[in-house]
A and B are shown apart, each in its own frame.
Chain A
């Protein structure tokens, strides 16, 4: 990776730390093992669009409304990360990735380190053509939260926790956590 991209990855991690959001860096070969150590309870997801990995078999990707309500964890792809904010971009898809990322207690977005951009305007620059082609996306930053009940509470209508997995290039060696 370029030096700039290395900086983006480092700053993304720092932004997530400031939000108190966990992030784990993993090489593709260790992905399934890493994931297994993070998930909690019933886990659902959608197929992942990365060449180097795919969802482990024990993740249910045939999601129905009933399973959506029962699951505690979900694993879905993120198309971008934003270093300045610790945000991930979750695209809306016909297999329900957006919905699946929302109803659970723990959401695990999976992101390629190459897809971490520096700034909000970089991210919006990527989103422009996608939205003009009819797409929809969520820029998600940390868990669902509210302060409407007199104090900050996580998990208002969406996940209480977010744990980001960043796929590093196998040749970079990766660094866990």
Chain B
């Protein structure tokens, strides 16, 4: 392994050992809480659509909204400062502290304040800055960074926090339980809030029509920070503005559910500062509230720090719709294993952090963790504003590949063969990105190529030069491809004239060159249902290069695939796809890569193979023509197949044919295409896989036949369980 890869692997290994257990327990809890909470919302999808359109509109009208908000806040008696960057914001905040001769500033949790490092700036002036959110306070005492955007100390266990408090404060009786720790923190922080001079909060949303800030909390510290002292500073990114109070409604319903899985948090503060309520002046503790004459001051510090440039960037703009709920982190299999200290940049963590870090801190910060998004797409349906988070990760990866140049894509064809990338792309990425070329060559020279590739010295070189982990088995290429076999048997056994339907079976690279038997099963299953099948030469879908951030290569593949399929589509044939990651290209990513009409035509007429079988059976197909067996199977569907809502068809078909199906519910197997082959990520990939292994080694599952839809899931299950999985098609193959 190269030094850089070994360093990365060592960092991940350390986090897996130290923080992994607490991160896993907490994120899995949030993740299942979200599924449960949103399932109770009858209008969940409608709320997400509403939320999305409010943010789209607000970002579109942002300059106008900033002006309107400024006018409203000033009319209310507050001030607005628009800070170009962190230094500008900090300078302003320091001047407020200085004017107020502030000795102490109490803060509620705010990621935007972390982004600008305001604590450090104020501490330079001798201001005592106190984080009052319990999790943030723990981190302040421990001098650590947040590992999660909503639950910042989620990587710390109760016993670690107890040890921290006992060491720092040396209480008479050592603290132990969560109750004791919480009450201790409440008392300590309560005293610090009492004589604070300034309260600082963030803002989850700001309404331009009323000048109100919305704060989403459960502890009550934000309420105290905002109203106990007479001076309130709110720090927020410019993207937090929405036009009206009424626009808040869908976000109130979605944010808690999407984040920690609570239907709603304890407090949704809707403050229109400077507020009318009395300052809680403990130095004047005997004057009744009703008798006070307070003159509160309020400063809204709106941070640009790269956001207005993100707004002009067609690919990064979506990031500004993010409401920082953490759903993309909690639903991410890699995040569930390592947390934000690996899957995060300078400030932000989780899937969407790539967009934030690239936009506010720059591409170097995004480069640190961008590879950890495998494109599994499980976060896509979880995002309450429907951000295509994997796409943002892909775009940033592409820009990093091309020397961190954030200008428009270079769609120009490069004469480089076989890919169309300019710039100097990492060899590992180039190798995985050009898997089709490898597969063609490997198949043409099989079995010699397999023998050579399996030899120790070759594996050593592959690991050293390309970072392909030698602990992984490499795919074994077949000399006789699916298309060779299909031609040699004389094509389809069902004549078009007597067939109920006609399809093109897409020969994905893996099925054509490696897992040929599942392709043969597909042909026989479709024929049994009286379907006429053709298998034309169609290029690789572009999934392999896209996952390495090679967008222009993927775009070129998309065009070639469409060109090869346009005629059969015109002839009314359906496109049937075995490999879910390729089908997901047709149905999701091609929207970004093809003209709209081409995308619509291909995506609307493409089907998951078991979805197609299901449709045939529903429309009079004879189930007796397929192999029914009353056996027990453990089925792992594919992450992208589940995102498209297509996994249900496999289960339905198997159950209809008499199989007893136990389905896994992990977000991803951990292999995720090429990810698990990369030496720096091998251990993380196996750690993610352990959750699947646990589900398939229970008493009920361990003797079941293991079934998987995806190629890489199959490889991963093979190494996790040492039980070779089979494809659902091979189960129901009538031969």
In the complex, what residue of chain A is closest to B30 when comparing beta carbons?
A: A147
Q: Are B218 and A146 in contact (CB under 8 A)?
A: yes
Q: Are B284 and A65 in contact (CB under 8 A)?
A: yes
* Residues of B within 8 A of A (CB-CB), count: 68
B96 smallest CB distance to A (angstroms): 21
Within 8 A of A (CB), among B248-297: 248-250, 252-253, 260, 263-273, 275-278, 280-282, 284-290
Complex Cα spacing A132 to B69, Å: 12
9-residue interface stretch from A1-9, A28-36, A90-98, A166-174: A90-98
Within 8 A of B (CB), among A8-36: none
Complex Cα spacing A138 to B214, Å: 9
Complex Cα spacing A63 to B280, Å: 11
Complex Cα spacing A39 to B345, Å: 49
Q: Are A65 and B281 in contact (CB under 8 A)?
A: yes
The answer, among A132, A137, A142, A146, for a CB contact under 8 Å with B219, is A146
Complex Cα spacing A125 to B245, Å: 8
Q: Are A120 and B249 in contact (CB under 8 A)?
A: yes
The answer, among B245, B263, B290, for a CB contact under 8 Å with A131, is B245
The answer, among B185, B219, B273, for a CB contact under 8 Å with A158, is B219
The answer, among B153, B159, B182, for a CB contact under 8 Å with A153, is B182
* Contact residues in A for B290 (Cβ distance below 8 Å): 62, 94-96
Q: Are A136 and B212 in contact (CB under 8 A)?
A: yes
Complex Cα spacing A121 to B133, Å: 29
Q: Are B219 and A144 in contact (CB under 8 A)?
A: yes
A76 smallest CB distance to B (angstroms): 12
Complex Cα spacing A108 to B153, Å: 32
- Tell me whether A48 is interfacial, beta carbon within 8 Å: no
In the complex, what residue of chain B is closest to A94 when comparing beta carbons?
A: B276
B55 smallest CB distance to A (angstroms): 17
Within 8 A of A (CB), among B206-259: 207, 209-210, 212, 218-221, 223-224, 227-228, 244-246, 248-250, 252-253
Known contacts A98-B223, A124-B245; A149 and B288 CB within 8 A of each other: no
A105 smallest CB distance to B (angstroms): 11
Complex Cα spacing A145 to B153, Å: 16
Contact indicator per residue, chain B 535-578, by CB within 8 Å of chain A (1) or not (0): 00000000000000000000000000000000000000000000
Complex Cα spacing A102 to B275, Å: 16
- Tell me whether B616 is interfacial, beta carbon within 8 Å: no
In the complex, what residue of chain A is closest to B215 when comparing beta carbons?
A: A138
A31 smallest CB distance to B (angstroms): 22
- Tell me whether A56 is interfacial, beta carbon within 8 Å: no
The answer, among B185, B266, B272, B282, for a CB contact under 8 Å with A135, is B272
* Contact residues in A for B244 (Cβ distance below 8 Å): 128
In the complex, what residue of chain B is closest to A96 when comparing beta carbons?
A: B289
Q: Are A127 and B265 in contact (CB under 8 A)?
A: no
B430 smallest CB distance to A (angstroms): 45
* Contact residues in B for A92 (Cβ distance below 8 Å): 227, 271, 275-277
The answer, among A66, A136, A140, for a CB contact under 8 Å with B276, is A136
- Tell me whether B151 is interfacial, beta carbon within 8 Å: yes
Complex Cα spacing A125 to B268, Å: 15
Q: Are B209 and A157 in contact (CB under 8 A)?
A: no
- Tell me whether A87 is interfacial, beta carbon within 8 Å: yes
Q: Are B246 and A125 in contact (CB under 8 A)?
A: yes
B361 smallest CB distance to A (angstroms): 26
Q: Are A63 and B289 in contact (CB under 8 A)?
A: yes
Known contacts A93-B276, A99-B277, A134-B276; A149 and B185 CB within 8 A of each other: yes
- Tell me whether A139 is interfacial, beta carbon within 8 Å: yes
Q: Are A132 and B209 in contact (CB under 8 A)?
A: yes
- Tell me whether B723 is interfacial, beta carbon within 8 Å: no
* Contact residues in B for A121 (Cβ distance below 8 Å): 246, 249-250
Complex Cα spacing A135 to B186, Å: 29
- Tell me whether B158 is interfacial, beta carbon within 8 Å: yes
Within 8 A of B (CB), among A88-132: 92-100, 102, 120-121, 124-125, 127-128, 131-132
* Contact residues in A for B269 (Cβ distance below 8 Å): 136, 138
B576 smallest CB distance to A (angstroms): 44
Q: Are B178 and A85 in contact (CB under 8 A)?
A: no
Known contacts A149-B185, A151-B158; A157 and B266 CB within 8 A of each other: no
- Tell me whether A64 is interfacial, beta carbon within 8 Å: yes
Contact indicator per residue, chain A 139-166, by CB within 8 Å of chain B (1) or not (0): 1111111111111110111110000000
The answer, among A63, A149, A151, for a CB contact under 8 Å with B134, is A149
B297 smallest CB distance to A (angstroms): 15
- Tell me whether A68 is interfacial, beta carbon within 8 Å: yes
In the complex, what residue of chain A is closest to B252 when comparing beta carbons?
A: A120
Complex Cα spacing A124 to B157, Å: 38
* Contact residues in A for B212 (Cβ distance below 8 Å): 131, 136
Among B250, B265, B267, chain A packs the most CB atoms within 10 A around the CB of: B267
B251 smallest CB distance to A (angstroms): 10
Q: Are A156 and B182 in contact (CB under 8 A)?
A: yes
- Tell me whether B386 is interfacial, beta carbon within 8 Å: no
* Contact residues in B for A149 (Cβ distance below 8 Å): 134, 158, 161, 178, 181-182, 185
Q: Are B268 and A138 in contact (CB under 8 A)?
A: yes
Q: Are A139 and B252 in contact (CB under 8 A)?
A: yes
Q: Are A131 and B272 in contact (CB under 8 A)?
A: yes
Q: Are A145 and B219 in contact (CB under 8 A)?
A: yes
- Tell me whether B354 is interfacial, beta carbon within 8 Å: no
Complex Cα spacing A100 to B278, Å: 10
Complex Cα spacing A141 to B217, Å: 11
Among B132, B223, B287, B288, chain A packs the most CB atoms within 10 A around the CB of: B223
* Contact residues in A for B157 (Cβ distance below 8 Å): 150
Known contacts A64-B288, A144-B219, A157-B190; A136 and B266 CB within 8 A of each other: no
- Tell me whether B646 is interfacial, beta carbon within 8 Å: no
Among A135, A136, A137, A152, chain B packs the most CB atoms within 10 A around the CB of: A136
Complex Cα spacing A127 to B221, Å: 23
Known contacts A149-B161, A150-B181, A156-B186; A64 and B264 CB within 8 A of each other: no
* Contact residues in A for B248 (Cβ distance below 8 Å): 124
Q: Are A64 and B277 in contact (CB under 8 A)?
A: no
Known contacts A64-B287, A144-B220; A136 and B151 CB within 8 A of each other: no
* Contact residues in A for B220 (Cβ distance below 8 Å): 102, 144, 156-159
Known contacts A85-B264, A156-B221; A148 and B272 CB within 8 A of each other: no
* Contact residues in A for B132 (Cβ distance below 8 Å): 157
Q: Are B280 and A99 in contact (CB under 8 A)?
A: yes
Q: Are A102 and B151 in contact (CB under 8 A)?
A: no
Q: Are A157 and B219 in contact (CB under 8 A)?
A: yes
- Tell me whether B76 is interfacial, beta carbon within 8 Å: yes
Q: Are A120 and B253 in contact (CB under 8 A)?
A: yes
Contact indicator per residue, chain B 127-170, by CB within 8 Å of chain A (1) or not (0): 00000111100100000000000010100011101000000000
A-B contact pairs, 11 of them (CB 8 A): A65-B285, A96-B278, A99-B277, A131-B270, A145-B266, A148-B134, A150-B157, A150-B161, A152-B178, A155-B183, A157-B224
The 4 closest A-B pairs by CB, nearest first: A150-B158, A158-B220, A96-B289, A156-B219
* Given A94-B290, A136-B276, A144-B219: 15 more A-B contacts, CB < 8 Å: A62-B290, A92-B275, A95-B290, A120-B252, A125-B246, A131-B245, A134-B272, A136-B269, A136-B273, A137-B270, A140-B266, A145-B219, A148-B135, A148-B219, A151-B179
